[in-house]
Structure formats: C-alpha cells, structure tokens
Amino acid sequence: MIEPTELQTLFRDLEADRVERKPSLSQREEIRKNICAFSNDLPDHRRPGVIFIGVEDNGQCSNLPITDEMLRTLSDMRSDGNTLPPPVMTVQKHRIDDCELAVVTVAPSDSPPTRYKGVAWVRIGPQLRRASAEEERRLAEKRRAADLPFDSRPVPGATLHDLNLDNFRHEYLANAIAPEVLEENQRSIEQQLASLRFAGQDHTPVNGALLAFASDPQRWLPGAYIQFLRIDGEDLTDPVRDQKEISGPLRDQLSRLDELLEINISTSADLLSGPTEIKQPDYPIAALQQLARNAVMHRSYEGTNAPVRIYWFNDRIEISNPGGLYGQVNQDNFGQGATDYRNPLIAETMKVLGYVQRFGFGIPIARKQLEKNGNPPPEFQFRPESVLVTLRRTP
C-alpha cells in the first residue's frame, strides 16, 4: 500500500498533512475518526494516510511496546461495523529511526463519504473535524461510477417513486446518521439518499436502494429472493413438506427468514441428566441466522437470476448462494476474520438495520454456536459460481 522509503519520509516530516501521530492507544476514538477522515481524503491527495502510534506530536518516540494484542485491536477497527463502508487499511509493526511503532495505513475510499458512527470526518491540514454539508456533497461527487460495485450502480429507468421513502426515513436514516447531524443539515430526501450512496447525483436509485427500499425489488433484481424447501427425507426427490419464496425488500426478507428458521427448529427435552429438564434444539438459531444472512450479504446479484437456497432435510440443512468467494477471501483464510465485500452497500445496509453486529465474525460465531449445541462443524464447498454450507443436526 505504501513503500518503506515513503513511510520513513512521512514519519520524519512533522508538517505532513497525511500523517497523524499518537503516543499510545489511549485516544482510540481519535484514531477511529482519523481512519474515517483519511478514507474520505477530502484534500484529494489520492495517496494513503498514515497513523503512527508510539510517537509524540513533536516526533519524539514514546517507547511504547507494540504487542500483538495492540495490532489486533487496531485491525478490528476496520471490521467492527462502526465505520461504514469498511475502510481499506493495513496495520503493521515497524521500526523507524530506532522507534518501534504500530502503523495504520488508510487508503482513500472509492465510494465516499465514509462515516464513523454516522458522522463523516475529514482532515484539512492537521485539523480533524466533522464534514459540512457542502464537503459531504464534494465527497459524494468523487465517486467513480464505472468502478462502483454492482449494488452501488444507478439503475436506468428507476426513479425515487420506486422506493418506499417512509421506510427509508423511519427504518434506516435514523439509525445510519447521528441525530445531531440530521438536525443540523435539514437536507432534502434526494440529498439524503445521495449522501448514503442510495442514489446518484441525478437522483437515480442504485441497485442496493431498490433491494432495500423498493416495494417490489424483484422487478429490478429477479433473483433477489430466498427459496426455502423443507424436505421430508434426505434426498431432493423425497416429498416436500413446505415451500416458501421469501421476497420483498431486504428487511422483510430477513425478518421473515428469522421466523421461518425458528418455526422449523425441533427441540428435544432431556430428563435423564437430573431433575431439571434440559431442552436442546437440533440446530442453534444463532448459527442458522449467521450463515443465512452471510449468504444474502455475499451472494452475487449480477449476471444471475438464481436465489439464495435453503434446503432443510431430515438430517441436514444446505444453504447455498450464487457467487464464489470474493476479493481477498480464499479457502485458506475463509471464516478466520478475512473480509471483502462484493456488495459493500448491502453489507452496510444490513449492519444499519441490525442484522450484522460485526463484520467478519459471522462464520466464527456460527461455528462456536454449533459446537456449543453439540452439532458437527459446518461443511463448506467452494465453487467459482457458488458457495454451499451444510449443517448436520445434533446426533
């Protein structure tokens, strides 16, 4: 992301406006705000910003021990869901001029504005502050439409009349933007949609907006639904006990999916271990939710009309989604905290709506819940065109 020689030059240049220095991790909120500001790159440096931790403002080394725990804490700032869209950043340990440092390097975002806890932060020279409405407009204009992911591309022919704007206001906006920012800005609905990347500068809705807020998203994205089959047996040719196609806006899909998963879980009572009745489900609901939501978030919506499929057999559950592993995620690092997003706007929407608590932790949570419940570990099959996870019921 940045060459060692340039890193040394920035470290020694006390006037560089692409640099922030912190003597320790005690000012974590300030570090997070600077990550957000460097991601926004309001001055348009088009070069990464750097946060040196372990050095005073005057360049004097603070002799801070750089531990693995500290580096993990800094790395978690990318994926904990407080900064959206997740910034592109690296965290490394360096020694420069005999000073041991933790170095956070933050690349400019291709899809600004980036917000920390609903607020867009910017840097002008050494000054860190909240972005004004005009500065947010400038950040929005920096987006490169040709490079945008599918969920952030405007949809020709769609208009704001295709969106349920009441749902946008009441279900999304109040959770996405800090209340004081909403009160100060007094923006029009068109400006609010554009600021949150749900519409282009000509007010045309993007794919992610139609999926989240259109009354009929499947008109624009035919495959954007969940197919559920409850099969009375262990083969696809066995009788189908129940069949559902879960469609509609994203929140409706996820809410109805939660209900469907809970209804189909069977719970057994154990009276042999003592006087207290112990109830055990055949599958833990938290694991099913994490894996199903993961399929919705990371699926490919482009070039396919295939849905997310959940096939519930008597001995197992199969959850599959169109689209293979994406970006820096591969079979070796899958489920170990590595994150990349085919659909960053959809991922952000699910976070704001409360269906994601922390990015990159869905698979570890599912594994832990399955183990705790006595289920075998999940089995993953990766293909170029799809990902399939199989869950086995408790013995």
Domain ranges of the chain: 4-128, 146-219, 226-392
Q: What is the DSSP string of 180-244?
A: HHHHHH---HHHHHHHTTSB-TT-PBBHHHHHHHBS-GGGT-TT-SEEEEEESSSSTTSPEEEEE
Q: Which of 63-72, 110-119, 246-255 has the lowest mean pLDDT?
A: 110-119
CA angle 278, 282, 284 (to 5 degrees): 85
Task: Give mean pLDDT, residues 15-37.
Answer: 94
Q: What is the mean pLDDT of residues 141-161?
A: 82
Q: Does domain 4-128 have CATH number 3.30.950.30?
A: yes
For all residues of the chain together, what is the average pLDDT?
90
Same fold, 4-128 and 226-392: no
Query: What's residue 241's pLDDT?
Result: 95
Phi, psi torsion values for 175, nearest 5 degrees:
-90, -20
- Residue 15 in this model has a pLDDT that exceeds 60: yes
Task: Name the one residue in this structure whose structure tokens are 């199903």.
Answer: 292
Q: What are the Cα distances from residue 385, in Å, to 295, 301, 320?
A: 13, 12, 10
Average pLDDT over residues 188-210: 91
Of 104-108, 125-129, 272-276, which gets the smallest average pLDDT? 272-276
Amino acid, res. 242:
D
Q: How far is it, in rounded angstroms, from Cα 361 to Cα 67? A: 22
Mind listing the pLDDT tens digit for each residue in 305-356? Answer: 999 999 999 999 999 999 988 877 888 888 776 677 889 999 999 999 999 8
**Which burial class, exposed, middle or buried, applies to 138 when counting CB atoms under 10 A from its CB (0-12, 13-18, 19+)?**
middle
| pTM of the full structure | 0.71
Examine the pLDDT at 392 and tell me if it is beyond 60. yes
For the segment 43-61, what is each residue's pLDDT rounded down to a tens digit? Answer: 888 899 999 999 999 999 9
Average pLDDT over residues 116-128: 92
User: What's the token pair of residue 114?
Assistant: 């980036």
What is the percent of the chain with per-residue pLDDT over 70, rounded to a whole number?
95
- Please state which of the four CATH numbers 3.30.565.60, 3.30.565.10, 3.40.640.10, 2.60.120.620 is assigned to the domain occupying 226-392: 3.30.565.60
pLDDT of the residue at 270: 62
- Find the mean pLDDT for residues 169-194: 86
pLDDT score recorded for residue 44: 85
Residue 117: CA atoms inside 13 Å, Cβ hemisphere, count?
Answer: 9
Mean pLDDT of 222-238: 96
